[in-house]
Amino acid sequence: MGENGIKLRAENINLSFGGVEALIDVSFELREHEILAIIGPNGAGKTSLLNCINGFYRPQKGRIMYEGYDLTKVSSHKIAKMGLSRTFQNIALYTGLSTLDNLMAARNIRMRYNVFAAILYFGWAHREEMKHRRVIEDIIEFLEMESIRKKPVGMLPYGQRKRVELGRALALEPKVLLLDEPMAGMNVEEKEDMARFILDTYELKKIPVIIIEHDMGLVMDIADRIVVLDFGRKIAEGTPDEILANHAVINAYLGGE
């Protein structure tokens, strides 16, 4: 839908908290078909950038264009309805709900039945619930979460909670997927599973993905392009090979490695 293959375009984003400048004049594009990695040291502004896209932070300057709308002027829940879905660096699940209901909660925006139908439940509401349950079961199967379907997510181990978060993001039926360090803190096996799920999703749904990740080996493997942030500024952008050859990046970020 976006013009010449561009799904989302951030233009000159400036975001500051009091004296702290979290993002300075950051611009980038997300193409219709790509996995775009955002890398940079801690505190570089990566999470803040996603928060701007989600309408949770409002940049003081700049626009984020998506399907003809400027997301910096749209409220968060409407941005979700427009198809932007996301996982969080610090897991942000609904701890009182089961895996199943965490995913079902994300279906809310696709459900149509109203308050009166909810009160009666039988009939319209029940039919819709069952319809969406089928969609959710497919995701549960895809992410191999059958055994934790009915478990309250608060009791799950860290790696599985990360997986449930991906499931919740997929349950929204996203048109753009934003992943904030989906593999942080995982062991090698869990990381491999997660990478496989992300790549399979990308292949299957044909949606662009933005991923924030620290594991450079992994980024080089799965990303089509990389944006590098440092102290709130974009210091480089390009294919993995270009980034590896970029002196600014090597100095600022990969320096020691």
Partner 1 sequence: MRLPCGIINKSYSQDTAIVRTNLQWLLLVLALITLFTFPYWASPHWISVMIGVWISIIGVMGLTLLTGYAGQLSLGHMAFVAIGAYTVAILMSDLNWPFWAALPCAGMISGCIGVIFGLPSLRIKGFYLVIATLAAQFIIVHIISRWDSLTGGVFGLSVPKVTLGGFEFKSDFSYYFLAMIFALIAILIAKNLSRSRIGRSWIAIRDNDIAAEIMGVDPFKYKLLAFFFGCFFAGIAGGLWAPYLRYLTPEQFTLMGSVWYLGYMVIGGMGSIMGPIAGVIFITILDEFTAEMVTDLATGSPVFAGFVQASRYIVFGLAIILFLIFEPRGIAHRWERIKNSYRLWPFSY
Ligand X SMILES: Nc1ncnc2c1ncn2[C@@H]1O[C@H](COP(=O)(O)OP(=O)(O)O)[C@@H](O)[C@H]1O
Q: State the residues that interact with partner 1 by CB under 8 A.
A: 54-56, 75-77, 79-81, 85-86, 88, 92-97, 101, 104-109, 111, 113, 115, 118-121, 125-126, 129-130, 133-134, 137, 150, 168-169, 172
- Residue 192 Cβ vs ligand X, minimum distance, rounded to whole Å: 24
> Using the 8-state DSSP alphabet, how is residue 31 labeled?
E
User: Residue 54's binding partner, choosing from partner 1, Mg ion, ligand X, none, with beta-carbon cut-off 5 to 8 A by kind?
Assistant: partner 1
Q: What CA–CA distance (Å, rounded) separates 7 from 229?
A: 21
| Nearest-angstrom CA–CA distance, 130 and 108 | 13
Task: Report the residue number, 52 or 148, with the smaller CB distance to ligand X.
Answer: 52
- Number of residues lying near ligand X (CB under 6 A): 11
Q: Return the amino acid letter for 83.
A: G
Looking only at Cα atoms, what is the longest distance across the chain?
A: 64
The DSSP letter of residue 46 is H
Task: Please tell me the distance from the alpha carbon of residue 116 to that of residue 128, in angstroms, as a whole number.
Answer: 14
Residue 43's binding partner among ligand X, Mg ion, partner 1, none (Cβ under 5 to 8 angstroms by kind) is ligand X
Window of 43-51, 74-82, 101-109, 154-162 that interacts with ligand X by CB under 6 A: 43-51
Residues that bind Mg ion (CB under 5 A): 47, 89
CB 169 within 8 A of CB 85: yes
Candidates 8, 10, 13, 22: give the one binding ligand X (CB under 6 A): 22
Q: Which of 209, 253, 210 is nearest to 228 (CA)?
A: 253
Q: How far is the CB of 2 from ligand X (least distance, A)?
A: 25
Q: What is the dihedral of CA 142, 148, 151, 154, to 10 degrees?
A: -80
State which of residues 40, 174, 182, 208 lies at the interface with ligand X (CB under 6 A): 40
Selection from partner 1, ligand X, Mg ion, none that 172 binds (CB < 5 to 8 A by kind) is partner 1
In the chain, the amino acid numbered 96 is G
Cα 135 from Cα 43, distance rounded (Å)? 37
Residues in contact with ligand X by CB under 6 A are 17, 20, 22, 40, 42-48
